[in-house]
Structure 1
Amino acid sequence: MDFALSDEQEALVDAEHAWLTKNDPLVRLRESPEGKAPRLSPVEVRHLTESGLIGLLTAEIGGTHVDLAVLVEEHGRSCSPIPLAELAVAARLLDLLHHPLRGDAESAAEIVLPALGSLERSALHAEVDGRTLTLNGTTGPATGLADATHILITCVTTSGSEVAVVLPVAAVTIRTLRTLDLTRSWSVVELNTTVQADQWFNLSTGTVAFVHDELTVYRSLDALGAARRLVDTTVGYARQRTQFDRPIASFQAIKHHCANMALSTETSRAALWAAAVALDGDADNRGRAVSAAAAFAGEGTSTTAQIALQVHGGIGFTWEHDLHLLLRRIKVDELVDGSVSFHRRRLVTA
């Protein structure tokens, strides 16, 4: 595939990089009380409102999944707590459903986030009885739910139909999780509710699978961004750290480590961009492209994090260094929205 970013996409990512550099999420994380999960700040909410990024995938703006992909990678690199991909995916669905909240969600007046059953061993059950929808069980882990005003549930019912329902957070139970990731809040939605006919929507067959594929790609792109930062950090550290009066970057073993990290991130990016292109219109190859990219990038970014820790040595284990925050984020990304082994199994049966 011959693929390169357009001038507009380059400008888009440069602008977001500049904003994230100015409003460094890790600086705010370091200043917050220890053990407190990051929440969206007024500055971040204002940025979402003014930039219009939430509505990127809606018909009005007409952006592509590749446009969103480069932005999500940048947010992963910065360890941003903003669930940008999730907000954009929810806004696309609300637009598709012509839901009354679609305008408010795109302007961040309302924060609507998607929640689905886990790809592996889903504990979310939905049943349609006449014109009534009953939801029971627990969704898969999702980030940013602590800041949501509404939850967009999409699922496959026991009869095989696909449905969506938008619920205010007051109508559900959001259970916060303790995870390795200290840079974002993670939660699940616990459901035991009945929804009347005018409150839920039928979806086209395959919609839920498409949303799963979207979130899978963006989770991997988030990890890629963090891995890319680790490559830059590790190369910089190797040039400064000396042993035997020589920078360790001059040692062949360290050179090989850094080269392998760089190769892994670049090839992972190529695979994930190909998956983003498939999301934009290659329905026949979408599932294979998504799982191939998720499996390859999942293993690659995790290995990159482990090598970065090895090159840094003892300093990489310290609380004060950013390395452990990036590593933790990557390891959680590796497990959410389908593990490496899940996507490899999916490829075998595709």
Structure 2
Amino acid sequence: MDFALSDEQNALAAAERAWLAKNSPIASRRLTIDDGHARIRPEDLRHLVDSGLAGLLTEDLGGTHVDLAVVVEEHGRAGSALPIAELCVAAQYLARLEDPLCGGAADGTEPVLPVVASVDNPALAASLDGDTVRLHGTSAPVTGGSDVGHVLVIAQCSDSTEIAAVVSVAAVTVRPLESLDLTRSWSVVDVDLALDAGGWYTLPTGTADFVHDQLATLRAFDALGAASRLTEETVEYAKSRHQFGQPIAGFQAVKHHCANMTLSVESARAVLWAAAVALDDKTSDRTAAVSAAAAYAGEGTSTIAQTALQVHGGIGFTWDHDLHLLLRRIKVDELLDGTVSYHRRRLVRT
């Protein structure tokens, strides 16, 4: 597959990187890290409205998953707490369903997050009784759940009918989780609701699987952004750190580490672009493309983080260095929306 980012996509990535650099999420998080879980900042919400990025996947804007991927990669690189991928996915489906909240979700004034079952432990389900739907169970981990007013619950019935419902967070229980990741907040949503006709939607068969593939791909792009930053910072550190009278970048072992990190970043980016294109084209090999990308990038970005820590040495183990914040983020991304092991098993079955 021949593929390259367009000038517009490169400009979009550059603009988002510039905003994130000016409004450094990690620097802001440092000021509140002892006060509890990370929260979506007011400036993030203003940026969401000003940029209009939340509606990127809607038909009105006509954006693609590749467009969204370059934005998500920049937010991963910056350690942002704004769940831009999830907000875009929810806005996309609200627009398709023509839900009253679709306008606010797309323009960022009423951000909505998707809530789905875990891929390996589907504890969130739906059941139909005439015109009444009962949603019950616990969702997969959600980031930013304490900072939005509504969630889009997507669940399957025992007969494989797929249901969606827009629910106020006041009607569910958002249960915070203690997480390795200090740059974002994580929670699960406990749901036990009965909704009458008009309060829920029937989705086309396969929608839930597609949402899982979207989230798995975009989660890997988030980890890729963090890994790319760690690679660049590790190379710069190796150039400036001296040992035995010369930069450690001159040592063959360190050169090999840095070269392997760079190779892993570029390889992961290529396979993730293929997955994003498959999501846009809705090809029959989408499942294979997504699982191959998620498995390869999940292992690759985790290895990059570990190598960055090794090359940095003692300074990398300190609380004051940002390395551990990005390492933690990558490790959590690796575990959600399907682990490396899960996606390898899924790939074998396709």
- Range of TM-score over shorter length: over 0.9
Shift of 1:136: 1.3
Indicate the RMSD between aligned Cα atoms, in angstroms.
0.8
d(CA) in 2 for partners of 1:329, 1:185? 11
Q: Could you tell me which amino acid in structure 2 is paired with residue 110 of structure 1?
A: E
Q: Could you list the per-position Cα deviations for residues 31-75 of structure 1 after superposition, in whole angstroms to 9, with x for gaps in the alignment? A: 115152221222111110010100000010000000000000010
Shift of 1:183: 0.1
Q: Could you tell me which amino acid in structure 1 is paired with residue 299 of structure 2?
A: E
Partner of 1:222: 222
Partner of 2:111: 111
Q: Could you tell me which amino acid in structure 2 is paired with residue 143 of structure 1?
A: T
Alignment of 1:24-63 (within 5 A): 24-63=24-63
**Equivalent position SS for 1:123:** coil
Q: Could you list the per-position Cα deviations for residues 150-200 of structure 1 after superposition, in whole angstroms to 9, with x for gaps in the alignment? A: 010111111210110010010000000011000000011001111111100
Q: Do 2:135 and 2:155's aligned partners in 1 also have CA atoms closer than 8 Å? A: no
d(CA) in 2 for partners of 1:283, 1:141? 28
Alignment of 1:251-330 (within 5 A): 251-330=251-330
- Indicate yes or no: 2:175 matched with 1:175: yes
Q: Could you list the per-position Cα deviations for residues 3-30 of structure 1 after superposition, in whole angstroms to 9, with x for gaps in the alignment? A: 1111111111111011000000011011
Shift of 1:314: 1.2
Partner of 1:237: 237
Shift of 1:326: 0.4
d(CA) in 1 for partners of 2:125, 2:203? 16
Q: Do 2:175 and 2:190's aligned partners in 1 also have CA atoms closer than 8 Å? A: yes
Partner of 2:335: 335
d(CA) in 2 for partners of 1:232, 1:35? 30
d(CA) in 1 for partners of 2:26, 2:272? 25
Give structure 1 stretches of 5+ with no counterpart: none
Q: Could you list the per-position Cα deviations for residues 121-147 of structure 1 after superposition, in whole angstroms to 9, with x for gaps in the alignment? A: 111121111111111110000111111
Shift of 1:283: 2.3
Q: Could you list the per-position Cα deviations for residues 249-273 of structure 1 after superposition, in whole angstroms to 9, with x for gaps in the alignment? A: 0000000000000000100000000
Partner of 1:161: 161
d(CA) in 1 for partners of 2:155, 2:276? 22
d(CA) in 2 for partners of 1:5, 1:33? 36
Q: Could you tell me which amino acid in structure 2 is paired with residue 158 of structure 1?
A: S
Report the count of equivalent residues: 350
Alignment of 1:42-121 (within 5 A): 42-121=42-121
d(CA) in 1 for partners of 2:238, 2:100? 54
Identity rate of aligned residues, in percent? 60
Give structure 2 stretches of 5+ with no counterpart: none
Q: Could you tell me which amino acid in structure 2 is paired with residue 171 of structure 1?
A: A
d(CA) in 2 for partners of 1:140, 1:305? 25
Q: Could you list the per-position Cα deviations for residues 183-233 of structure 1 after superposition, in whole angstroms to 9, with x for gaps in the alignment? A: 000011001111111100000001111110000000000000000000011
Q: Do 2:134 and 2:194's aligned partners in 1 also have CA atoms closer than 8 Å? A: yes
Q: Could you tell me which amino acid in structure 2 is paired with residue 71 of structure 1?
A: V
**Equivalent position SS for 2:281:** coil
Q: Could you tell me which amino acid in structure 2 is paired with residue 132 of structure 1?
A: T
d(CA) in 1 for partners of 2:104, 2:26? 29
d(CA) in 2 for partners of 1:33, 1:269? 30
- The 3 A distance-change label for structure 1 pair 155 and 283 is farther
Q: Do 2:33 and 2:182's aligned partners in 1 also have CA atoms closer than 8 Å? A: no
59-68 or 101-110, which moves further after superposition? 101-110
d(CA) in 2 for partners of 1:192, 1:56? 31
**Equivalent position SS for 2:151:** strand
Q: Could you tell me which amino acid in structure 1 is paired with residue 186 of structure 2?
A: W
